[in-house]
Amino acid sequence: MQVLYFAWLRERIGVGSEDVSPPDTVTTVGGLIDWLKTREDRYAAAFADTKSIRVAIDQEQADFDASIAGAREIALFPPVTGG
């Protein structure tokens, strides 16, 4: 699946998007983030404070306990500040 990062999350992780293949044991957004944190220090640092992370699955807002089964595109980003 495609994972997208925006704003300071993108800057800290160093890429705007990447293809990832988490193991089958990863079933939720929260699980995906925990798995990403184990990959490299920059992920662990970027996701240190999950209270500041928002999620969209296939471009719809979602929660950390939402299922990622069948998702094509999962976006992780800070709280939005447009307008």
Partner 1 sequence: MAVRVQEADFDPGAELEALTAGDTGIGAVVSFTGLVRGTGITEMTLEHYPGMTEKALAEIEAQAHARWPLQGAIIIHRVGPLAPGARIVFVATASRHRKAAFEAAEYIMDFLKTRAPFWKKEAAIDGTARWVEARDTDDSAAERWK
Binding site for partner 1 (CB under 8 A): 4, 6-8, 56, 59-61, 75, 77-83
The helix/strand/coil state of 45 is helix
In the complex, least distance from residue 37 CB atom to partner 1, rounded to whole angstroms: 21
Residue type at 33?
Answer: I
Distance in Å, CB of 79 to partner 1, minimum = 3
Nearer to partner 1, 64 or 77 (CB): 77
By beta-carbon proximity to partner 1, the closer residue of 23 and 72 is 72
Element (H, E) at 7: helix 7-13
Residue 30 or 78: the one with the smaller Cβ distance to partner 1 is: 78
Q: Can you tell me which residue has the tokens 């970027």? A: 46
Q: How far is the CB of 80 from partner 1 (least distance, A)?
A: 5
Residue of 31, 38, 29 lying closest to 71 (CA atoms): 29
Please give the helix or strand (H or E) that residue 19 lies within, else none: strand 17-19
